[in-house]
Structure 1
Amino acid sequence: MISINRVILAICVVSQLPTSFCRIHQLVVENDMRKYIALSTFGFYQGGRLNVQLQNFKADPQDQNAIFGFSLDRTMNDAMNPYLDSHPDRCLLQEPVHSEHEAAIIYFIMDLSEKVMKVNCSPEWNGIHIYKSLNEIPVASLKQALVGSGNILMQTRKKRDVEEKDDFNTSPCSKLHLPITVQVDSKGVSSYNTSFVMTISSNAEEGLYNLYFHNCPNYNPNKQVNLNFEIQITEENVGNFLSAGEMPLPALYCTMAVLFLLSGAFWVFLLRQSKHPVFKIHYLMAALVFLKALSLAFHGMNYHFIERLGVHLATWAVLYYIAHLLKGALLFVTLVLIGTGWTFIKHVLAPRDKRLFMAVIPLQVLANVAEIILEESEEGAREHRAWRDVFTLVDLLCCGCILFPVVWSIRHLQQASATDGKAATSLRKLKLFRHFYIMIVCYIYFTRIIVYLLRITVPFQYGWLDEMFREMATYVFFVLTGYKFRPAAHNPYFSLPQEEEENQVITESGITEGVVRVNLRNKSTPNLTEVSQQESEALLDQREGSHDYD
Structure 2
Amino acid sequence: MAVAQIKGFLAGVSVLLVVLSGGNARIHRLTLKNETRFAVDLNNFGFYANGTLDVNLSALWIKETVVNYTLYPVGFSLSRSRVNGVLSYTAEETDTCPLIMQKSTNNEHDEPLILFLIDVTNLSVNVKTRGTQDNILIANVKEEASKVQRKARDDAASNNGNEKSKETEIKGEEKKPEDETEKKNIPAMEVKKEKGKEYLLDNDSKLTLALGKGNGFYNFSFRMVFGLKAQGLYSLKFHYCQNRMPGFKLPYSFTAEVTEKNPEGYLSAAEIPLSRLYICMAGVFFTAAMIWVYTLMKHRYSVFKIHWLMAALAFTKSTSLVFHSINYHFINTEGHPIEGWAVMYYITHLLKGALLFITLALIGTGWAFVKYILSDKEKKIFMIVIPLQVLANVAYIIIESTEEGSSEYYLWKEILFLVDLICCGAILFPVVWSIRHLQEASSTDGKAAMNLEKLKLFRHYYVMIVCYIYFTRIIAILLKITMPFQWQWCYEFLVEVSTLIFFVLTGYKFRPASNNPYLQLPMDEDDVEMDEVVTESGALEGISKVKKTSNGRERQKEPTL
Q: What is the TM-score of this pair, normalised by structure 1?
A: 0.79
Shift of 1:262: 1.3
The question of 1:335 aligning with 2:338 is answered no
From 281, 302, 309, the equivalent of 1:277 is 302
From 545, 555, 558, the equivalent of 1:518 is 545
The match for 1:153 is 199
Superposed, 1:258-273 pairs within 5 Å as 258-273=283-298
Shift of 1:439: 0.1
From 76, 88, 91, the equivalent of 1:85 is 91
Superposed, 1:63-74 pairs within 5 Å as 63-66=66-69, 67-74=73-80
- Note the residue ranges of structure 2 that are not aligned, 5 or more in a row: 1-17, 141-191, 521-529, 552-561
Contact 1:76–1:459 (8 Å) recurs in 2: no
Q: Secondary structure at the match of 2:545?
A: coil
The match for 1:199 is 225
Shift of 1:18: 6.8
Shift of 1:72: 0.5
From 34, 48, 52, the equivalent of 1:45 is 48
The match for 1:118 is 126
CA displacement 1:142-180 (0-9 Å, x = unmatched): xxxxxxxxxx733xx8xxxxxxxxxxx8x5312x11110
Contact 2:23–2:337 (8 Å) recurs in 1: no
Superposed, 1:490-529 pairs within 5 Å as 490-491=515-516, 501-502=533-534, 517-519=544-546
CA displacement 1:81-105 (0-9 Å, x = unmatched): 2223385222111243536885321
CA displacement 1:193-252 (0-9 Å, x = unmatched): 01111001x321111111010001101113321111100000001140001111000000
- Closer/same/farther in 2, CA of residues 75 and 319 from structure 1, 3 Å limit: same
Shift of 1:301: 0.1
- Note the residue ranges of structure 1 that are not aligned, 5 or more in a row: 1-14, 142-151, 158-168, 185-189, 505-513, 522-526, 530-550
Superposed, 1:210-359 pairs within 5 Å as 210-274=235-299, 276-359=301-384
CA displacement 1:392-444 (0-9 Å, x = unmatched): 00000000001000000000000111101111111110000000000000000
CA displacement 1:55-101 (0-9 Å, x = unmatched): 00011355354421000011265523222338522211124353688
The match for 1:380 is 405
Contact 2:110–2:132 (8 Å) recurs in 1: no
The match for 1:183 is 214
The match for 1:475 is 500
Contact 1:61–1:225 (8 Å) recurs in 2: no
Contact 1:253–1:297 (8 Å) recurs in 2: yes
Q: Secondary structure at the match of 1:244?
A: coil
Inter-partner Cα distance in structure 2 for 1:235 and 1:19: 20
Inter-partner Cα distance in structure 1 for 2:382 and 2:93: 46
Counterpart residue type for residue 427 of structure 1: L
Contact 1:276–1:489 (8 Å) recurs in 2: no
CA displacement 1:294-346 (0-9 Å, x = unmatched): 11000000000011111100010000000011110110000000001112222
The question of 1:128 aligning with 2:135 is answered yes
Inter-partner Cα distance in structure 2 for 1:136 and 1:396: 55
Q: What is the TM-score of this pair, normalised by structure 2?
A: 0.78
Inter-partner Cα distance in structure 2 for 1:492 and 1:421: 16
The match for 1:36 is 39
- Closer/same/farther in 2, CA of residues 500 and 216 from structure 1, 3 Å limit: farther
The question of 1:60 aligning with 2:63 is answered yes
Q: Secondary structure at the match of 1:93?
A: coil
Inter-partner Cα distance in structure 1 for 2:397 and 2:532: 50
Inter-partner Cα distance in structure 1 for 2:222 and 2:380: 56
Contact 1:432–1:494 (8 Å) recurs in 2: no
- Closer/same/farther in 2, CA of residues 87 and 365 from structure 1, 3 Å limit: closer
- Closer/same/farther in 2, CA of residues 193 and 483 from structure 1, 3 Å limit: same
- Closer/same/farther in 2, CA of residues 309 and 502 from structure 1, 3 Å limit: same
The question of 1:108 aligning with 2:116 is answered yes
Shift of 1:19: 6.8
Inter-partner Cα distance in structure 1 for 2:268 and 2:124: 30
- Closer/same/farther in 2, CA of residues 360 and 119 from structure 1, 3 Å limit: same
Contact 2:367–2:374 (8 Å) recurs in 1: yes
Contact 1:502–1:518 (8 Å) recurs in 2: yes
Contact 2:392–2:416 (8 Å) recurs in 1: yes
- Closer/same/farther in 2, CA of residues 17 and 119 from structure 1, 3 Å limit: farther
The match for 1:508 is none
- Closer/same/farther in 2, CA of residues 335 and 20 from structure 1, 3 Å limit: closer
- Closer/same/farther in 2, CA of residues 29 and 499 from structure 1, 3 Å limit: same
- Closer/same/farther in 2, CA of residues 487 and 207 from structure 1, 3 Å limit: same
Contact 1:71–1:211 (8 Å) recurs in 2: yes
- Closer/same/farther in 2, CA of residues 499 and 281 from structure 1, 3 Å limit: closer
Counterpart residue type for residue 361 of structure 1: I
Inter-partner Cα distance in structure 1 for 2:110 and 2:421: 33
Contact 1:65–1:113 (8 Å) recurs in 2: no
Counterpart residue type for residue 225 of structure 2: T
- Say which is worse superposed, 69-78 or 82-91, in terms of deviation: 82-91
Counterpart residue type for residue 180 of structure 1: L
The question of 1:173 aligning with 2:219 is answered no
Contact 1:61–1:226 (8 Å) recurs in 2: no
Contact 1:26–1:230 (8 Å) recurs in 2: yes
Contact 1:42–1:244 (8 Å) recurs in 2: yes
The question of 1:452 aligning with 2:455 is answered no
Inter-partner Cα distance in structure 1 for 2:57 and 2:492: 33
Superposed, 1:352-431 pairs within 5 Å as 352-431=377-456
Q: Secondary structure at the match of 2:399?
A: helix
Contact 1:363–1:398 (8 Å) recurs in 2: yes
Inter-partner Cα distance in structure 1 for 2:103 and 2:343: 45
Inter-partner Cα distance in structure 2 for 1:415 and 1:347: 20
- Closer/same/farther in 2, CA of residues 137 and 501 from structure 1, 3 Å limit: farther
Counterpart residue type for residue 478 of structure 2: L
- Say which is worse superposed, 322-331 or 337-346, in terms of deviation: 337-346
CA displacement 1:518-548 (0-9 Å, x = unmatched): 2569xxxxx999xxxxxxxxxxxxxxxxxxx
Inter-partner Cα distance in structure 1 for 2:275 and 2:547: 64
The match for 2:177 is none
Contact 1:77–1:208 (8 Å) recurs in 2: no
- Say which is worse superposed, 30-39 or 91-100, in terms of deviation: 91-100
- Say which is worse superposed, 71-80 or 363-372, in terms of deviation: 71-80
The match for 1:433 is 458
- RMSD, aligned α-carbons: 2.8
